[in-house]
Amino acid sequence: MIAIENVRLFTELRESLEQQTATAEVLQVINSSPEDLTPVFDAMLDKATRLSEAAFGILWTYDGERFQAVAFHRVPPAYVEFLKEPQLASPVAPLGRVARGEAFAHVPDLAADEYQERAGFLVRQGLSLGGFRTVLAVPMRKDALLLGAITIIGGKSNPSRTSRSRCCRASPRRR
């Protein structure tokens, strides 16, 4: 019993150190690039995808109506090309859900028939051009204002609960 508890504590400690290291690395990039946000966005996506063990990630800005993809990490080129234009997000899609105020939005299987029917064009293009099945969207807010979101994307459906919770714990708290 004590050995199991020690393993659990060691795992939590390791995950906490990974999160702290990722945060320190992003802050270091911010300090070294005060004028250019591209390296900051790249570092954020790299750390978020690494912490959550995701296939790729996208950083979006939000203008109150549409989302604009502004940074990509390991995203398939065909999907990057599609995302050059600002995107409307269906209210049931992960980005639409964070736009409505959810703390985060997770969809374990975008390919489920009942989900595809309601999710809209952006999600269908993600399935066909991006080849992904699962998405976690985490909003970026200042006070109550939605500035954008980070989507962490996996190729398989139903990612491990550990990866999902690790990513959500690493995300900034909503204010």
Higher pLDDT: 39 or 157? It is 39
Beta strands at 56-62 and 67-73: parallel, antiparallel or unpaired: antiparallel
- The residues near 95 (Cβ < 8 Å, ≥ 6 apart) are 60, 67, 87, 89, 105, 122, 137, 149, 151
Q: How many C-beta neighbours within 10 Å does residue 137 have?
A: 25
Q: How many C-beta neighbours within 10 Å does residue 64 have?
A: 7
pLDDT at 171 over 60: no
Give strand pairing partners of 141: 146
C-alpha count within 13 angstroms, C-beta hemisphere, residue 94: 26
Q: 66, exposed or middle or buried, with CB in 10 Å at 0-12, 13-18, 19+?
A: middle
pLDDT tens profile 101-132: 999 999 998 888 777 778 888 888 888 898 88
Q: Does the pTM of the predicted model rise above 0.85?
A: no
- The residues near 157 (Cβ < 8 Å, ≥ 6 apart) are 108, 109, 110, 111, 133, 134
N-term to C-term CA, the chain:
39
- Residue 162: predicted pLDDT: 41
pLDDT tens profile 143-164: 889 999 999 998 655 444 444 4
Range list of H helices, 74-170: 77-82, 94-99, 113-119, 121-125, 161-170
Residue with tokens 């080129």: 77
Share of the chain above pLDDT 70, in %: 73
Residue with tokens 């099945």: 133
